[in-house]
Amino acid sequence: DVKVTQSSRYLVKRTGEKVFLECVQDMDHENMFWYRQDPGLGLRLIYFSYDVKMKEKGDIPEGYSVSREKKERFSLILESASTNQTSMYLCASSFTGFMEAFFGQGTRLTVV
């Protein structure tokens, strides 16, 4: 059973803080993703990574960066949190480009 685990279910941070969202998968998946989910906007891709070698910006990378030092771990970093980054963040992973992406349980981030 594939497991994609996000470090926090709920998080409250202050404006200007540096925030780390962690994601770990246990199935040796090459591809990992960070999405942001907002009502009416669906799942918007923030960053995509293929193994530790490649990181690629998605549709809304501004204000975010990522780290993937080990294949199983993909971190999303909010360099200086702002209130407009209040959202649900979903991590996902897949083995290949033609296989199911498995999602984590999500992190509800509130920036105050």
Partner 1 sequence: GENVEQHPSTLSVQEGDSAVIKCTYSDSASNYFPWYKQELGKRPQLIIDIRSNVGEKKDQRIAVTLNKTAKHFSLHITETQPEDSAVYFCAASRSTDSWGKFQFGAGTQVVVTP
Round to whole Å and give the CA distance between 76 and 27: 20
Least separation in angstroms between residue 24's CB and partner 1 is 15
Rg (CA), the chain: 13
Torsion of CA 23, 7, 19, 12, to 10 degrees: 140
Euclidean distance between the first and the last CA atom of the chain, given in angstroms as a whole number: 37
Tokens encoding 79:
């360099």
Least separation in angstroms between residue 65's CB and partner 1 is 18
In this complex, which beta carbon is closest to partner 1, that of residue 14 or of residue 96? 96
In this complex, which beta carbon is closest to partner 1, that of residue 78 or of residue 89? 89
In this complex, which beta carbon is closest to partner 1, that of residue 27 or of residue 80? 27
Least separation in angstroms between residue 111's CB and partner 1 is 22
Contact positions vs partner 1 (CB under 8 A): 30-31, 33, 35, 40-45, 48, 50, 54, 56, 58-59, 90, 92, 94, 96-98, 100-101, 103-106
In this complex, which beta carbon is closest to partner 1, that of residue 76 or of residue 92? 92
- Which of the 8 DSSP states describes residue 85? G
Cβ-contact 23, 90 below 8 angstroms: no
